[in-house]
Structure 1
Amino acid sequence: MDLALWIVAGLLCAVMLFGGATKVLVPRETLAAAPGGGWTGDRSAAFVKTLGAVEILAAVGIVVPAIVDIAPVMVPVTAVCWVLLMVGAMATHLRRHERVAVLANVTYLAMGVFIACGRF
């Protein structure tokens, strides 16, 4: 079980890092033109960049506390916060009728639930 939790946490960390770095580094106009990124056209650039920074912090919080064994309770707390973020993401994509993005969000939400349940 521990190995499965580490694998899922590593995969989720990669997703968080990639998504966060993309939001922080890529201009909002470019993101808005990408598939599933149309929602960024409805938000300010500051909001998109802040969301990207939060995702990068989540990537750190999902693995680092367990690796260094300092405040390991932060791993499931981060996972719960990620689940809440995915609920918001699903609501946004559902409003825009982006079913593929919703399926991806459901997958990431399930990964977060698995980590939260396994680490609490």
Structure 2
Amino acid sequence: MNIAYWIVAGLLALFYFYAGTLKVIRSRDQLRPMMAWVDRIPVPALRALGSVEILGAAGLILPPLTGTAPWPASAAAIGFVLLQAGAIAVHLTGEDRRITLNVGLIAAAAVTAWLATKP
């Protein structure tokens, strides 16, 4: 289970670290081709979302890597499940109906949360 956790959590952390960094450093115009929904939320909220994604990525990797308390990794994974549930709601209430990536990220985060609880 340990190897499976590191594979799934590592890929998930890479994705969220990349996506979060883009949301923090890029302008709305630069993000629009990748994220059609960016015009629907204020820039400070977009920056905060990016920061949460970066912190969540760190939460998936750092606690298991350092051997500290195991619960932050589970909490980060569950947070990503909730984040993607909200993302699906944003996509479905707007004009962008593409949610395949969001569903895949929910599945990966749920598997990560489950694997994080295994010894």
For 1:90 and 1:2, the matched residues in 2 are separated by: 30
Map 1:86-97; keep pairs closer than 5 Å.
86-97=84-95
Q: Corresponding residue for 2:19? A: 19
Alignment match, 1:52: 50
Q: Retained in 2: the 8 A contact 1:29–1:41?
A: no
* Aligned-pair CA distance for 1:30: 2.1
Pairs aligned (count): 117
What TM-score results when the alignment is normalised by the length of structure 1?
0.91
Q: CA–CA distance in 1 between the matches of 2:112 and 2:24?
A: 25
Aligned CA RMSD, in angstroms, stands at 1.2
Q: Which amino acid aligns with 2:114?
A: C
Deviations 1:61-105 (A, max 9, x none): 0111000011121101110011000100011112224343x1101
Query: What TM-score, normalized to structure 2?
Result: 0.92
Structure 1 gap ranges (5+): none
Which ranges of structure 2 fall in alignment gaps of 5 or more residues?
none
Q: Bigger relative contact order, structure 1 or 2, given CA contacts below 8 A and separation 6+? A: 2
SS in structure 2 of the partner of residue 4 of structure 1: helix
